[in-house]
Amino acid sequence: MSQKFHAQIYVTLRPSVLDPAGVAVQSGLSHLGYENVDQVRIGKYVELTITAASEDEAKVSLDRICDQLLANPVIENYRFELKTVSGAGV
Amino acid sequence: MKVGVVVFPGSNCDRDVVWVSSGLLGCQTRMVWHEETDISDIDVVVIPGGFSYGDYLRCGAIARFSPVMREVVKHAEQGKFVLGICNGFQVLTEAGLLPGALTRNRDLHFICDRVPLKVERSDLPWTCEYGAGGVITLPVAHGEGRYYADAETLAELENNGQVLFRYCGPAGEVNEANNCNGSLNNIAGICNKQGNVLGMMPHPERASDPALGNTDGIGLFKGLLARVKAGEKVPVL
């Protein structure tokens, strides 16, 4: 029996990695008048649907997917959220 | 003696490499389409610059899964030579053939310039035509060339002498002022522990033909091809 899951994946830079794009955005925010904003870091958001026999299996697959492709473990961390897609087939 | 230049969708410096190895140095050269699975005829693999897969997701992230890359990894494990230039360097780090990662330039600008580079050692085939500590000038053209590795990896690279090229000033000064993209330790090019895989952000193939006004890059190809012809191989771990 297989289920469909909707995954929301967040890929973020490791804290030790310089983020010049984040610094540029922060500078832009400062020019807009937001002097109360600090530590801007820019990451990636990926959505996908995955079919698996169980939520645990889906999580195992997603870990591999993130490790192999979606995130570069040298410079990025990842986390994801899974939701069962309603009306999934048997 | 054959050179193979890998071509991914989006590679655009492949022909310049072929011009150097075949046109200038008269070495048998062929282009290797990224879907090929037999590169047993190739002695030296070159992964050229460009924008493979449009740099989608991350530079080189998708190219490293092309069928040919499995063969390139095997080729490297056999002690044969692999050169990655610019996007090629990015592909090699994504494929795990070299440590670390290439990230967005510190100042966010795409840098298109000629920069001085310090050659750190001259005993390897890659740099045997240059003097150790010498300064050469090569073109760079990249938006994601800032080399990053964690402190432990960096220390290992330095201790093992795996850093071959560093961004420097015209007199060889290695400092932040002469670090065009913010690479840690001014790293412009590194090799693996055995020394048979080299990745570098600058373009030696763009400084090889005298018609272009700078031939500082030809020494890398000359030295490498001469050593390979002489049957040089690195020890297999």
Which domains does chain A carry?
3-83 (3.30.1280.10)
Mean pLDDT of B102-131: 96
Contact status, residue B144 vs residue B104, Cβ threshold 8 Å: yes
- Please write the tens of the pLDDT for every residue from A24-72: 999 999 999 999 999 999 999 999 999 999 999 999 999 999 999 999 9
**In this complex, is the C-beta atom of B148 within 8 Å of any C-beta atom belonging to chain A?**
yes
CA distances from B229 to A3, A88, B75, B224 (A): 57, 61, 17, 9
Q: Does residue B203 carry a catalytic annotation?
A: yes
What is d(CA A66, CA A63) in angstroms, rounded to the nearest whole number?
A: 5
Count structural domains, chain B. 1
| Tally of CB atoms within 10 A around A3 | 17
- Top pLDDT among B94 and A86 is at B94
Contact status, residue A29 vs residue A58, Cβ threshold 8 Å: no
Nearest chain B residue to A42, by CA: B104
What is d(CA B214, CA B209) in angstroms, rounded to the nearest whole number?
A: 7
Mean pLDDT of B160-183: 98
Mean pLDDT of B182-193: 98
Q: How far is B183 from chain A (nearest CA, A)?
A: 10
Residue B192 has pLDDT above 70, yes or no: yes
Contact status, residue A10 vs residue A71, Cβ threshold 8 Å: no
pLDDT of residue B237: 46
DSSP B174: -
In a domain, B237, yes or no: no
Interchain contact, A17 vs B182, CB within 8 Å: no
Q: What part of B 51-80 touches A (C-beta under 8 Å)? A: 57-58, 61-62, 65
Instruction: Output the domain CATH number for residue B11.
Output: 3.40.50.880
Interchain contact, B150 vs A20, CB within 8 Å: no
Residue A5 has pLDDT above 90, yes or no: yes
Residue A86 has pLDDT above 80, yes or no: no
Which is catalytic among the residues B27, B86, B128, B180?
B86
- Please write the tens of the pLDDT for every residue from B20-52: 999 999 999 999 999 999 999 999 999 999 999
**In this complex, is the C-beta atom of A40 within 8 Å of any C-beta atom belonging to chain B?**
no
Interchain contact, A20 vs B105, CB within 8 Å: yes
Across the interface, of A18, A69, A75, the residue whose CB is closest to B106 is: A18
pLDDT of residue A90: 47
| Predicted-complex ipTM score | 0.86
Collapsing DSSP to helix, strand or coil, B166 comes out as: strand
Residues from chain A contacting residue B106 (CB–CB below 8 Å): 18, 20
In a domain, B236, yes or no: no
- Please write the tens of the pLDDT for every residue from B194-234: 999 999 999 999 999 999 999 999 999 999 999 998 887 77
Nearest chain A residue to B61, by CA: A69
pLDDT of residue A36: 96
Paired tokens of A16: 């030790």
Interchain contact, A72 vs B61, CB within 8 Å: yes
* Paired strand residues for A58: none
Q: Does residue B232 carry a catalytic annotation?
A: no
What is d(CA B222, CA B198) in angstroms, rounded to the nearest whole number?
A: 15
Task: State chain B's mean pLDDT as an integer.
Answer: 96
In a domain, B89, yes or no: yes
pLDDT of residue B235: 62
Residue A87 has pLDDT above 70, yes or no: no
Mean pLDDT of B166-186: 98
In a domain, B118, yes or no: yes
pLDDT of residue A20: 95
Residues from chain B contacting residue A69 (CB–CB below 8 Å): 57, 61-62, 65
Nearest chain B residue to A18, by CA: B106
CA distances from B32 to B12, B47, B128 (A): 13, 10, 27
Residue B236 has pLDDT above 80, yes or no: no
pLDDT of residue B132: 85
Interchain contact, A20 vs B94, CB within 8 Å: no
B6: left (phi over 0), alpha (psi -120 to 50) or beta: beta
Domain containing residue B133: 2-229
What is d(CA A15, CA A11) in angstroms, rounded to the nearest whole number?
A: 12
**In this complex, is the C-beta atom of B105 within 8 Å of any C-beta atom belonging to chain A?**
yes
Residue B131 has pLDDT above 90, yes or no: no
Contact status, residue B197 vs residue B76, Cβ threshold 8 Å: yes
Contact status, residue B178 vs residue B139, Cβ threshold 8 Å: no
In a domain, B44, yes or no: yes
Residue A1 has pLDDT above 80, yes or no: no
